[in-house]
Amino acid sequence: MSIQATPSPERGDFIREIVAADLRDGKHQTIVTRFPPEPNGYLHIGHAKAICIDFGVARDFGGRCNLRFDDTNPTKEEQEYIDCIQEDIHWLGFDWGEHLYYASSYFEQLYEWAVYLIKAGKAYVDDLTADQIREHRGTLTEPGKNSPWRDRSIEENLDLFDRMRKGEFPNGARVLRAKIDMASPNMNMRDPALYRILHAEHPRTGDKWCVYPMYDFAHGQSDAIEGVTHSLCSLEFEIHRPLYDWFIDNLPVPSRPRQIEFARLNITYTVLSKRVLLTLVKEGHVRGWDDPRMPTISGLRRRGFPAEGIRDFAALIGVAKSDSVVEVGLLEHVIRDVLNRKASRRFAVLAPLKVVIENYPEGQVEEMDAVNNPEDPSAGSRKVPFTRELWIEREDFMEEPPAKFFRLAPGREVRLRSAYFVTCREVVKDAAGEIVELRCTYDPATRGGDAPDGRRPKATLHWISAAHAMPAEVRLYDHLFTRPDPGADGDLFADLNPDSEKVLQGCFVEPTLAEVPVGETVQFERLGYFSPDPDSTPGHLVFNRTLTLKDTWAKLQAQGKQG
């Protein structure tokens, strides 16, 4: 998507209001934002919200949004993540152009700034262990104590920091700290660590460094280097802002970025925590980072969610500072809304029941014209073969139908979509009493789906010619967790939904479905939206259910059970 200027909203969210004011007041001529992922996992829909805000604000005001990897911790970061993150952002519909950056590109500059602070008497090398530092830090209600190493000479600090860089000390032996205020009520200001020793291979800088800057020491300065004007992040960094500003105030940085925080996304029945998602992957609870049940961007993509829907969702939930939990139903509604307009309609039978049209000529094949998308006439139509033997959905027949069941039943006539009206004449059962086949008759005058005499069946069913049906595996997905607030009882994994994936074999789909490419989502009429899984091959078709259609019949049944 190209970044283009659109009229700035009179009154947008609070961030856009700040940006608009800064532009109006001449504080900035043009604005720059950035999306700063740490390459330690896959992006999820919470990041998608942030991406839509970061890139969206820049776009709305004719500015620019950089992609900058916050790669300051080589023990957790991998090239695979760097690659997938870029793919996901592009798929979402955003582009950073030439502005791809890495915090690791600024390591030399950051090191120089650390030396600058030492020389200014504002940073020192601490020999305390991590445990001792913690003890000295105090608590939320008690001030901390100064480290005994806090007042080393500048010369000694310079020498020690230089030797830290040269690799003379093991991991954890020493740390460079800012000299601020051990009694600050803000824990972040109690002499925060700036650099730690990490003898680790970095995905981009290799073994060049063995000291790495902490997030706080890298982020704001990286923003300043890139000329970022508005550094948008989530609420948990609000408490870091005084420190963010302290570095900007005390360092000769080339620009003065402003950090603005917004509430991160929470969604019912889902967990948006990279740590938890990583565990789900590592412990094999899901098929991988891109499992269709995962809230990752790659998972949603594999599930069949269109990027447009995710963008619409981000726009709909808005931007604010209050913690909130969005109902997953809203996401699903937005996705259905996009898919209803865009998805091609097809026939597929998940649980097949054989139907034989007794009065239909054996061996005859008719090509029925089926509309591809009633919402979009330009989508045209396709030919679907009709023959004497068909598959219909098992759920579409009941031998003893309850009052509100409108579908097929003995003696009842229904419409086969885009084909004929058929009437059930006989139910064939096996020795066990299981229904194995329905004997029906059709009305030749109803070809195409309309009766000359104007009669209208209460139900219209989807169907597939048995001779033309393509076998397929279909994977049905449901929420990964059983409760809206997974883990609220303490054990997150106890809340995993054992039925979040159901794999159906022996499904049948219409022939055209063999050609749907991965990445496209179609509607199986009356069933829902489905998308081919990457596991799908010409010899073994596999479809993922993206979402069901809204199903008032299922709802009625559910209510009946409760009542």
Partner RNA sequence: UGGCGAGUGGCCUAACGGUAAGGCACCUGUCUCUGGAACAGGGGAUUGAAGGUUCGAAUCCUUCCUCGCCAGCCA
The residues carrying an active-site annotation are: 38, 264, 274
The stretch among 55-63, 454-462, 466-474, 513-521 that binds RNA (CB under 7 A) is: 454-462
Residue 326 touches RNA, criterion: CB under 7 A:
yes
Structure tokens at 131: 């445990």
Residue 114 touches RNA, criterion: CB under 7 A:
no
Residue 164 touches RNA, criterion: CB under 7 A:
no
Residue 562 touches RNA, criterion: CB under 7 A:
no
Q: Which of 477, 482, 525, 519 is nearest to 500 (CA)?
A: 477
Structure tokens at 228: 């970022």
Phi-psi region of 363 (alpha: psi -120 to 50; beta: other; left: phi over 0): left
Enumerate residues 261-290 that contact RNA by CB under 7 A. Answer: 263
Q: Which residues of 41-63 are buried (b: 16+ CB within 10 A; e: fewer)?
A: bbbbbbbbbbbbbbbbbbbbbeb
Residue 172 touches RNA, criterion: CB under 7 A:
yes
Distance separating alpha carbons of residues 543 and 537, to the nearest angstrom: 11
Written as one letter, the residue type at 452 is: P
Interacting residue with RNA among 25, 98, 249, 323 (CB under 7 A)? 323
Residue 105 Cα distances to 101, 112, 202, 221, 225, angstroms: 7, 13, 12, 12, 11
Identity of the residue, 13 or 443, whose beta carbon is nearer to RNA in the bound complex: 13
Q: How far is the CB of 467 from RNA (least distance, A)?
A: 21
Within 13 A of 412's CA, how many CA atoms are on the CB side?
Answer: 20
Enumerate residues 458-477 that contact RNA by CB under 7 A. Answer: 459-460
Q: How far is the CB of 352 from RNA (least distance, A)?
A: 17
Q: How far is the CB of 15 from RNA (least distance, A)?
A: 9
The full DSSP string for 345-365 is EE-EESSEEEEEETTSPTT--
Identity of the residue, 262 or 291, whose beta carbon is nearer to RNA in the bound complex: 262
Distance separating alpha carbons of residues 532 and 536, to the nearest angstrom: 6
- Look at the block and give the residue holding tokens 């994936």: 501
Written as one letter, the residue type at 116 is: Y
Identity of the residue, 290 or 312, whose beta carbon is nearer to RNA in the bound complex: 312
Residue 163 touches RNA, criterion: CB under 7 A:
no
The stretch among 115-123, 229-237, 464-472, 536-544 that binds RNA (CB under 7 A) is: 229-237
Enumerate residues 302-321 that contact RNA by CB under 7 A. Answer: 316-321
Residue 552 touches RNA, criterion: CB under 7 A:
yes
Binding string, 482-521, against RNA, x = CB under 7 A? ----------------------------------------
Q: How far is the CB of 129 from RNA (least distance, A)?
A: 5
Spatial neighbors of 517 by CB under 8 A, at least 6 apart, are: 532
Residue 410 touches RNA, criterion: CB under 7 A:
no
Interacting residue with RNA among 133, 435, 514, 518 (CB under 7 A)? 133
Binding string, 350-389, against RNA, x = CB under 7 A? -----------------------xxx--------------
Tell me the β-bridge partners of 393: 352
Q: How far is the CB of 127 from RNA (least distance, A)?
A: 8
Q: How far is the CB of 95 from RNA (least distance, A)?
A: 22
Residue 129 touches RNA, criterion: CB under 7 A:
yes
Identity of the residue, 145 or 425, whose beta carbon is nearer to RNA in the bound complex: 145
Residue 523 touches RNA, criterion: CB under 7 A:
yes
Contacts with RNA by CB under 7 A: the residue count is 91
The stretch among 282-290, 302-310, 399-407, 467-475 that binds RNA (CB under 7 A) is: 399-407
Mapped onto helix, strand or coil, the DSSP state of residue 382 is: strand
Interacting residue with RNA among 13, 181, 366, 473 (CB under 7 A)? 13
User: Do residues 457 and 417 touch, judged by C-beta distance below 8 A?
Assistant: no
434 exposure class (CB count in 10 Å sphere: 0-12, 13-18, 19+) = exposed
Distance separating alpha carbons of residues 125 and 131, to the nearest angstrom: 16
Residue 252 touches RNA, criterion: CB under 7 A:
no
Residue 558 touches RNA, criterion: CB under 7 A:
no
Sheet architecture: strand order including 100-102: 32-35, 64-69, 100-102
Enumerate residues 173-202 that contact RNA by CB under 7 A. Answer: 173-175, 185-188, 192-193, 196-198
Sheet architecture: strand order including 193-197: 123-126, 175-178, 193-197, 211-213
Enumerate residues 66-85 that contact RNA by CB under 7 A. Answer: 70, 72-73, 76
Interacting residue with RNA among 91, 116, 149, 553 (CB under 7 A)? 553
Enumerate residues 35-54 that contact RNA by CB under 7 A. Answer: 36, 38
Written as one letter, the residue type at 69 is: F
The stretch among 52-60, 446-454, 497-505, 512-520 that binds RNA (CB under 7 A) is: 446-454
Identity of the residue, 325 or 494, whose beta carbon is nearer to RNA in the bound complex: 325
Q: How far is the CB of 314 from RNA (least distance, A)?
A: 10
Spatial neighbors of 500 by CB under 8 A, at least 6 apart, are: 293, 477, 478, 479, 480, 481
Residue 21 touches RNA, criterion: CB under 7 A:
no
Identity of the residue, 88 or 525, whose beta carbon is nearer to RNA in the bound complex: 525
Q: How far is the CB of 421 from RNA (least distance, A)?
A: 10
Residue 238 touches RNA, criterion: CB under 7 A:
yes
Q: How far is the CB of 38 from RNA (least distance, A)?
A: 4
Structure tokens at 110: 């950051």
Spatial neighbors of 189 by CB under 8 A, at least 6 apart, are: 180, 181, 242, 243, 246
Tell me the β-bridge partners of 64: 32
Residue 152 touches RNA, criterion: CB under 7 A:
no
Written as one letter, the residue type at 420 is: Y
Residue 134 touches RNA, criterion: CB under 7 A:
yes
- What's the gap between Cα 442 and its chain centre? 47
